[in-house]
């Protein structure tokens, strides 16, 4: 399978998981079941969902928008990371989508960007950021590195993340998602993908401010046990992830949940559906998990009718970003 196919699988997988999980975002599991029954296709964001009500079916949210924004920031500077460019582009995007007023930003990003807007130092907020804003947007960066380029990958992640998130758990969680994408593109087996994600965490966490977060590697190991024990019972598996690993906006919940679901589902369509019906931070978990499954399965492993929906209902061209990444890799 070509790298082009794998990279397209990553970016479209991310967008599919994000858009499919959007309508149920930040609702608890029982409410998702009562309202939707089961989500099995793209839906409008319900007007009763304070976060999702601004989106219509097939639209991806801030997760994918910010991931593409990171790529824009790299493209703007010939793929050399620049924190100031990331900050500029995040601010411009926030104003464009009215993110400060319409509850689109996560709490850590909103606090940091508000400080920047007010010409204040954002570090008091970034150094305490425990939420998943860094991890949610990092999947495409995994396309730019081989798994053995751990140090370079982590350095890139730090520069691209620290505008809003600069903690050990934020860097570590983001690195685990990017590494999983990289290893999936290399077509490592699923156990090896998870092992490499665990290994990179210890490198990335050392770059950030110390926090008291639960261990993402340990939660992932526990999730992998559940995935094996409940291999033939999707409902019991999903409930266990929801109850024990957690599906909230904390990096220490959503990242191990996403990694575990990718490990369990393997197939991108199955993965996106599991995430959409999970309860909690469904769009973010869906974006991270389905990006990994898309990287492994490749573009041709995605539901092509869903790819068409993404292309139809979003103004940004995912394909153009795939082309830019592939061209950059060809340059070496």
Instruction: Compute the distance between CA of residue 83 and CA of residue 56 in angstroms, rounded to an integer.
Output: 32
Q: What span, in angstroms and rounded, lies between the C-alpha atoms of 323 and 7?
A: 9
Residue 76 token pair: 């703007």
Domain that holds residue 33: 3-331
Phi, psi of 207, rounded to the nearest 5 degrees:
-85, -15
The CATH number linked to 135 is: 1.10.4080.10
Q: pLDDT tens-digit profile of 9-55? A: 999 999 999 999 999 999 999 999 999 999 999 999 999 999 999 99
Q: How far apart are CA 97 and CA 83, in angstroms?
A: 21
Q: Specify the pLDDT at position 44.
A: 98
Confirm if 294 and 12 have CB atoms less than 8 A apart.
yes
**Total of domains in the chain:** 1
Above 70 in pLDDT, residue 1? no
What tokens were used for 93?
A: 């995007």
188 among annotated binding-site residues: no
70, two tokens: 């990171």
On whether 63 is known to bind a ligand per the annotation, the reply is yes
Q: What value does the mean pLDDT take over residues 254-274?
A: 98
pLDDT tens track for 176-227: 999 999 999 999 999 999 999 999 999 999 999 999 999 999 999 999 999 9
Share of the chain above pLDDT 70, in %: 100
Q: How far apart are CA 193 and CA 180, in angstroms?
A: 6
Bin 246: left if φ > 0, else alpha if -120 < ψ < 50, else beta.
left
Q: What average pLDDT does the segment 89-98 reach? A: 93
Nearest alpha carbon to residue 14 among 220, 321, 244: 321
Stretch 85-105: mean pLDDT: 90
**What pLDDT is stored for residue 263 in this prediction?**
98
Question: 61: annotated binding-site residue?
Answer: yes
Q: Is 281 annotated as a binding residue?
A: yes
Does the annotation list 323 as a binding residue?
no
- Who's near 269: CB < 8 A, 6+ residues apart? 302, 303, 306
């Amino acid at each position: 399978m070509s790298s082009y196919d794998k990279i397209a699988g990553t970016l479209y997988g991310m967008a599919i998981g994000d858009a499919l999980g959007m309508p149920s975002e930040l609702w608890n599991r029982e409410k998702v079941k009562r309202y939707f029954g089961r989500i099995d296709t793209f839906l409008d964001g319900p007007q009763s969902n304070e976060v999702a009500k601004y989106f219509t079916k097939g639209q991806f949210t801030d997760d994918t928008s910010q991931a593409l924004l990171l790529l824009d920031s790299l493209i703007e500077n010939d793929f050399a990371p620049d924190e100031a460019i990331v900050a500029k582009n995040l601010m411009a995007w926030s104003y464009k989508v009215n993110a400060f007023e319409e509850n689109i930003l996560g709490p850590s990003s909103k606090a940091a960007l508000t400080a920047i807007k007010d010409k204040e130092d954002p570090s008091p907020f970034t150094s305490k950021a425990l939420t998943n804003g860094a991890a949610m947007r990092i999947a495409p960066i995994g396309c730019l590195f081989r798994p053995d380029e751990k140090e370079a990958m982590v350095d890139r992640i730090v520069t691209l993340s620290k505008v809003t998130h600069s903690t050990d758990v934020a860097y570590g969680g983001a690195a685990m998602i990017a590494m999983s994408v990289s290893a999936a593109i290399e077509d490592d087996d699923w156990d090896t993908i998870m092992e490499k994600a665990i290994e990179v965490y210890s490198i990335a966490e050392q770059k950030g401010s110390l926090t008291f977060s639960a261990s993402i590697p340990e939660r992932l190991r526990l999730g992998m046990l559940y995935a094996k024990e409940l291999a033939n019972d999707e409902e019991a598996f999903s409930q266990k992830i929801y109850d024990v690993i957690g599906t909230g906006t904390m990096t220490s919940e959503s990242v191990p949940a996403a990694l575990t679901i990718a490990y369990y589902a393997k197939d991108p369509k199955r993965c996106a559906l599991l995430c959409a019906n999970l309860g909690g931070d469904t769009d973010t978990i869906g974006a991270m998990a389905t990006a990994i499954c898309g990287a492994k399965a490749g573009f041709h492993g995605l539901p092509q009718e869903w790819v068409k929906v993404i292309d139809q209902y979003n103004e940004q061209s995912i394909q153009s970003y795939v082309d830019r990444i592939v061209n950059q890799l060809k340059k070496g």
